[in-house]
Structure 1
Amino acid sequence: MRLVGYADRLSVRAGDPIAFHISCALDGYRPEIVRLRRGGSPQHDTALVEETVASGLPDRLPGRVQPTTSGSFVEAGPVGPTDAVGLALWFLPTLPGTDARPLLAVGDLVLEVSAAGIGLRRGTTTLATLDAPPTERRWAFAAATVDATGEVRLVLHRPGLDGATTTAQAPPSATAGTLRIGSDGTVTGGLGATFNGKVARPVVSATAWPATTTGALAAGADPLTLLDPATTSALDLASDPGGTRVPDRGGLTAGAVIHHLPTRGVPGPFWSGAETDFRCAPNEFDALHLHDDDLADAGWAPDLTWDVPADLPSGVYALKLSADEDVDRIPFVVTPARHEAPVLVVLPTWTYLAYANWRTYAEYEAERLVIYGEARGIDERDRWLAAHPELGRSLYDVHTDGSGVCHTSRLRPIVNLRPDYFTPTTRGFRHYAQDLQLLDWLDRRGEHYAVVTDDEVEREGADLLSRYDVVLTGSHPEYCSAGMLDAYLAYTHNGGRLMYLGGNGFYQVTARHPGHPDALEIRRGHAGVATWVSDPGEEHLAATGERGGLWRMRGRAPNVLAGVGFTAQGFDSGYGYRRTAASADPAVAWVFEGVPAGVGEVFGAEGPGLGGAAGDELDRADVTLGTPADAVVLASSVGHSEKIALVPEEVDHGYAAPPPGVHPKVRADVVLLGRPGGGAVFSVGSIAWSTAMTHNGGENAVSRITANVLDRFRDEPGPVIGEQ
């Protein structure tokens, strides 16, 4: 991709500015604002629909390449100049290699580690090396001192092994400059040359301490009881795990800044295991996990800013960049300046960010063939992404050292957040491009609606939702905060009507990073569908301290809010729903007005992509998980193959064998439930539902059911379960 960019936010209020950051390997490009009406591409067999918006942007802007360097590290200082210096820290290497990576540096004096051992260098000159290989994923302690005469002492302590020490003589030289952990200050485009692993208890002192002090530090002594606090740095890596600044308990520096969001709230070398919540034993959770592919901000300079007109209708827009055959569309949502529409669509941008730059399609293309049993193609942008690991990974990926990615940021190009992105999992539409299909459906009906994102719901809560008669979700609102759950519950318990038009929603504990509000954090824990699990002692979010994993495991299963919760997934096909006997009750039969399928008959078995309304990821009702007892199951999906698998938390336990064939829990349920004051929830139990709504130009049962519910929710103020 020779032309790519990102915005400084995913949503902007009408009347406010939005900035765009662009990298272009061509001489120049044409910028224009478009309103996105429908996603699609030739690969989807569906045309993308967009409208040009008068913007006042220049006809052409010059191109420039903007590089990105990833890699988390800590930076403080300046230190010195000092004629003598001591350096020490604990480290746990997770990807030791033949190339040395910096552990701790002051200016050009660098203590570094490789698979062969540790070394000390000044610039490019090696001062001392110690051939004592550290053990992968085991804590070790390294220390180096240089006195005023140039005598160097290098020490490595590896628990369970004999300590190793070497000495050398170097020319006397003053030490001065920035103090860094995990980096030596080298900046190049691409993956950072930073340390992969955990670091804890760094010490820097303007003195060459004796060997006895090194031994005491290795045993866990507080450096400020051994060294002069005024000339010693003891950065407190345990302090404020949700922040990006670190105080110095000593007086050598004014504190440090943490760059690119390493994993925090991490157990250090003296963790006893008695506590797994870092808030209960902060001194034991005093480590950071650094990665060379951590990225909080691509750091590109802005190329243009657009002042969004105050009267611009709320909707989904993009900055369209064009240069010959190269085109990119940088998406953003315009939220309303005034809340006048009766219908609100909430785009699940936190889920978009969870999947942002998911690399599986290109990096595991052969494995995907096995999963699908067929070649489904790939979006060529994924191949480009695989060649640019510095642009950050998704929450479904692992870092280069194999540890799970728990942060995602919007301040970078996100190539799968595009209206024409092709998703092999569903043979076309998923997430953002799919949710544009819902907006196209609303446009075709002539609905008056506004659009916001998860950010607005998280920030404004029920006060925002309460301004609308009906709130519609996107197809996959999986990632959400406690505040978002509270907002939806409060809205529906105070007369609001919610249409949950997707599957696997309200599932994963997620939080905005307080020190970097453009980023989100999760911890996978040890439950649910996951491509990685949390390391011991790392289940709590550094952002909030709360336990991560699934909301279900914290007593807030999606069923409590939506009446249904995640139960199964599979990508071989989509399936239809069979109407239940309960759906014939006059109190709810209005849902099926104009639908030819009667009780016991199947509808929604056709559609683009997977080919049916019940597909991808499925939710079902279960009163034991919080589905209200008076909720009405209107239809349940049928005909699933054995390739549709229960999610791990749904698998039966005990000695009894599971029932033969397709498990009865493998189904999607369509549910309608009433709440006090006329509030209501309608849930469809499937990600594929809104894609199926487009079948036959929107003339189908799934579309008609959705329209019936929307009309009733919007226009009838009384209880929704009852006769009109």
Structure 2
Amino acid sequence: MRLVGYADRLSVRAGERVAFQLSTDHAEVRPGIVRLRQPGSPRHERALAEEPVDADLPAVLPGRSQTTTSGSHAVAAVNRALDEIGMAVWFQPTLPGPDARPLLSVGDLVLEVSSSAVLLRRGGRVVAELAATVRERVWAFAGATVDTSGAVRLFLHRRDLPAESVPARTEPVRADHPVLLLGSDGRGTAGLGHTFNGKVARPVVSATAWPESTTAALAAGASPLDVLPGGSTSVLDLAADPGGTRVPDLGGLTSGAEIRHLPGRGVPGPFWTGAETDFRRSPAEFDALHLHDDDLADAGWETDLTWTVPAGLLSGVYALKVTAGEDTDRIPVVVTPAVHTAPVLVVLPTWTYLAYANWRTYAEYEEERLALYGERRGVDERDRWLVEHPEFGRSLYDVHTDGSGVFHSTRRRPIVNLRPDYYTPTTRGFRHFAQDLQLLAWLDERGENYAVVTDDEVEREGTALLSRYRVVLTGSHPEYCSGGMLDSYLAYTRAGGRLMYLGGNGFYQVTARHPGHPDAIEIRRGHAGVATWVSDPGEEHLSATGERGGLWRMRGRAPNVLAGVGFTAQGHDRASGYRRSDASTDPAVSWVFDGVKAGAGEIFGDEGPGLGGAAGDELDRADIALGTPDGAIVLASSVGHSAKIALVPEETDHGYAAPPPGIHPKVRADIVLFGRPGGGAVFSVGSIAWSTAMTHDDGDNDTARVTANVLDRFRDSAGPVLGPGA
């Protein structure tokens, strides 16, 4: 990719400004604003539709190449000159190798470790080396002292092994207000940072070359301030404010450190006993940072262009379209309304977009996905470019270079799969952002008066925002949400609002905005649900909020409570249709099927692009035991699924009884409708594939007709929606 960029936000209110950051090896680029009307590309066999928008932008911008260096670490400024030094840190390597990685540096002195040695380096020269095997995921304590004569003592303490040390000499220390770096030595070029991969805890730096007795006391867990002079010692409190970006110094050598690029926080340190798993109840035991060379909070590019959105611009999805030669990139941004006048609101699930942002599985595991699909589907070429640029961060489905799960995802970076023409192999075409543009195109075709917001607005404004609209529509996969979002949607429907959940696997994963980096979200997978990694012991609580992560279902808030259905099965070989239930012929709800030829017991929605039907990809079903309201009516259930559509782990039968033969009865998508007191109502389709199927035959299909019938009733009915005369 010779032209790529990102915006400083995913949504902007009409009348406000949004900034764009670009990188290209072209000499110049041509910018313009377009409204995205329909996703597509030649590979999708559907044309991308966009409309130019008048914008006060320069005709041409000079091109420039911008680079990013990833890698989490901490940095602090030492507030005095040093002529001797002691430095030490607990560490647990998670990717030890022959390449020495920095643990702690002060000025030009760097304490570093490889798989076979602990070293003290000064600039580019190693001044002391202690040969020792460093074990993966085992805590050790290392450090060094340099006195005023240049005498060096390098030491290593490992539990259940004798302490080791080695003497050496170097030039005396002459450091005037040096920089203290934890997990980094300050070196960095474009790409993965040359930072430590692993956990670090209890760093100590002193303006004193302490004796070996002090080293032994520190290794045994003594407080540094009990054995060293506080005014000339740095004791960074890594357990403090796990959701923040700064940590205090309990000593007086620095004024505290900045935590950069979102390392894992609220994770157990070297003195964790296992008695507590919630860092809020025993913070001193959760005093580690888990550093990774591919952590990223912000790509750090400079702004090339700022667009002031006209105050009267209609709400919708727009993009900065930049072109240079044969290269084009479209950087999307949602324009939210300055004034709320439309009756219909679409909430784009941008937290889910971030969860999948730069998902690396397609190109990195292309061959392995053959078994999943049963066919070769290829990948988008942007994914191959992504493999060459690990510094742009990973999705919440990936693992770091050390194999640990990814906790954080930020929007301040190029996100190659957040494009209207991105090809998704999972669905043979559209998914997530591009798929949700299909829903907007359908609304446009109907002439619907609607506004668009994102998860960010719902998280920030809650029920006050939702209550301005008669009907709220979700995107196709609103999987990642906070407790506040769940509360807002539930309160909205209980106060007369109508919710149309037009997707599958929604309201599933406990998620929070990172308070120190509001551009990023955080999860912890826990030990349940569909996952490509699970949480390590003691790491199930989100540093952002302290709450337990994992599935909302495991916290008593299954999606069924809000939407009537919850995640039950997934598979990506093909989609199916729905069979109408007998209950769907009741006059109270039969209006849902006006214009649909299928009667009770007959099938509809078994056609469409991509996977070939309305019930596919990921499926949700009704279950009163999980919170589906008693009055919910199952209008239809999907049928004809293949053996490749599998139950999700939390739905798997336990006990001694054998599962029923054939396709498990829980493998299905249910269409559910129910009312709430006060005129509120919920309609759920139970399938990610639904909105793609709505585009079949240019929208002249039963899936689209059902959606239209419900939208019209929800929008126009003043009373309860259930009933023939409502």
Whole-angstrom CA distance in 1 between matches of 2:179 and 2:577: 63
- Equivalent residue for 2:304? 303
- Decide whether the 8 Å contact of 2:69 with 2:299 is kept in 1: yes
Q: Which residue of 2 aligns with 1:187?
A: 188
CA distance in 2, matches of 1:653, 1:478: 25
**CA displacement, residues 196-225 of structure 1 (integer Å, 9 cap, x when unaligned):** 000000000000000000000000000001
Partner of 2:511: 510
Q: Which residue of 1 aligns with 2:464?
A: 463
Once the two structures are superposed, residues 344-398 of structure 1 have per-residue CA deviations (whole angstroms, 9 ceiling, x without a partner) of 0000000000000000000001101121111112100000001000000000000
- What is the aligned partner in structure 1 of residue 622 from structure 2? 621
1:628 to partner: Cα distance? 0.3
Q: Deviations over 1:317-364 (max 9, x none)?
A: 000010111000000000001000000000000000000000000000
Matched, 1:56 2:78: no
Report the equivalent of 2:447. 446
The count of aligned residue pairs is 724
Superposed, which structure 2 residues align to 1:652-671 within 5 Å?
652-671=653-672
Aligned to 1:331: 332
For residues 679 and 406 of structure 2, what CA distance do their matches in structure 1 show? 42
2:615 and 2:689 in contact (8 A); partners too:
yes
Amino acid at match of 1:704: R
* 1:220-241 C-alpha deviation (Å, 9 max, x unpaired): 0000010000000000000000
CA contact (8 A) 1:79 1:106 kept: no
**Secondary structure of residue in 2 paired with 1:121:** strand
Q: What is the distance in 2 between the residues matched to 1:364 and 1:234? A: 43
2:687 corresponds to which residue?
686
**Structure 1: distance between partners of 2:143 and 2:303:** 42
Q: Which residue of 1 aligns with 2:110?
A: 110
The 4+ residue runs of structure 1 with deviation greater than 4 A are: none
- The aligned residue for residue 224 of structure 1 is 225
Equivalent pair of 1:72/1:259 in contact (CA under 8 Å): yes
Q: Provide Cα deviations, 1:278-311, integer angstroms capped at 9, x if missing partner.
A: 0000000000000000000000000010100000
Does structure 1 residue 586 correspond to structure 2 residue 590? no
| Aligned residue in 1 for 2:578 | 577
2:379 matched residue in structure 1: 378
Q: Is contact 1:335–1:452 with CA below 8 Å preserved after alignment?
A: yes
Matched, 1:214 2:185: no
> Is the contact made by 2:146 and 2:173 (CA closer than 8 Å) also made in structure 1?
no
Distance (whole Å) between structure 1 residues aligned to residue 124 and residue 352 of structure 2 = 45
CA contact (8 A) 1:343 1:448 kept: yes
Q: Pairwise mapping of residues 561-576 of structure 1 onto structure 2 (< 5 A)?
A: 561-576=562-577
2:366–2:378 CA contact under 8 A, matched in 1: no
Q: Which residue of 2 aligns with 1:129?
A: 129
Q: Match for 1:660: what amino acid? A: P
Q: 1:75-125 CA distances to partner (integer Å, 9 max, x unpaired)?
A: 001354211100011000000111111000001110000011110011012
Paired letter, 2:492? Y
**Counterpart-to-counterpart distance in 2, 1:592 and 1:412:** 44
Query: TM-score, normalised to structure 1's length?
Result: 1.00
Amino acid at match of 1:371: L
Residue of structure 1 equivalent to 2:120: 120
* Aligned equivalent of 1:96: 96
Distance in 1 (CA, whole Å) between partners of 2:283 and 2:376 is 50
Gaps of 5+ in 1: none
Contact 2:568 2:620 in 1 (8 A): yes
Which residue identity does 1:557 align to in structure 2?
A: A
AA of the residue aligned to 1:133: T
Paired position in structure 2 for 1:156: 156
Distance in 1 between residues matched to 2:598 and 2:654, nearest whole Å: 37
Residue 598 of structure 2 aligns with which residue? Answer: 597
Structure 2 residue aligned with 1:287: 288
In structure 1, C-alpha distance between the alignment counterparts of 2:275 and 2:130, rounded to whole Å: 35
SS at match of 2:705: helix
- Residue of structure 2 in register with 1:86 after alignment: 86
1:203 matches 2:173? no
Q: Is the 8 A contact 1:509 1:550 kept in 2?
A: yes
Q: 2:357: which partner in 1?
A: 356
Q: Post-superposition shift, 1:652?
A: 0.3
Task: Letter of the 1:419 partner, please give it.
Answer: P
Q: Does 1:260 align with 2:273?
A: no
Identity %: 75
Task: Out of 118-127 and 436-445, give the one that drifted further.
Answer: 118-127
1:396-448 CA-partner distances (Å, limit 9, x unpaired):
00000000001000000000000000000000000000000000000000000
Q: Distance in 2 between matches of 1:124 and 1:224?
A: 32
Query: Which SS does the other structure have where 1:660 is aligned?
Result: coil
List alignment gaps of at least 5 residues for structure 2. Answer: none
Deviation, 1:171, is 2.3
Indicate if the aligned counterparts of 2:218 and 2:224 stay in contact, CA closer than 8 A.
yes
CA deviations on 1:136-176 (whole Å, 9 max, x unpaired) are 10000001000011110011011122221111122223234
Task: Find the aligned partners of 1:79 and 1:206 in 2 and give their Cα distance.
Answer: 11
| Structure 2 Cα separation of the partners of residues 135 and 307 of structure 1 | 54
My pick for the range that moved more, 668-677 or 365-374, is 365-374
Q: Which residue of 1 aligns with 2:165?
A: 165
Report if aligned partners of 1:109, 1:175 keep a CA contact under 8 Å in 2: no
Per-residue deviation, 1:721: 1.0
TM-score in terms of structure 2 length? 0.99
SS, match of residue 498 in structure 1: strand
More displaced stretch, 176-185 vs 575-584: 176-185
Letter in 1 for 2:595: G
RMSD: 0.6
Partners of 2:163 and 2:88 in 1: CA distance:
14
Distance in 2 (alpha carbons) for counterparts of 1:692 and 1:169: 73
Given that 2:127 and 2:170 are in contact with CA atoms closer than 8 Å, whether structure 1 keeps it comes out as: yes
Equivalences for 1:694-705 in 2 at 5 Å? 694-705=695-706
Residues 79, 178 of structure 1: 8 Å contact kept = no
More deviation, 617-626/159-168: 159-168
Contact persistence 1:76–1:255 (CA under 8 A) = yes
* Letter matched to residue 113 of structure 1: V
- Partner residue of 1:24? 24
User: Which residue number in structure 1 is paired with residue 36 of structure 2?
Assistant: 36
Q: Would the aligned equivalents of 2:442 and 2:695 in 1 still touch at CA under 8 Å?
A: yes
Question: What SS does the corresponding residue of 1:225 show, helix, strand or coil?
Answer: helix
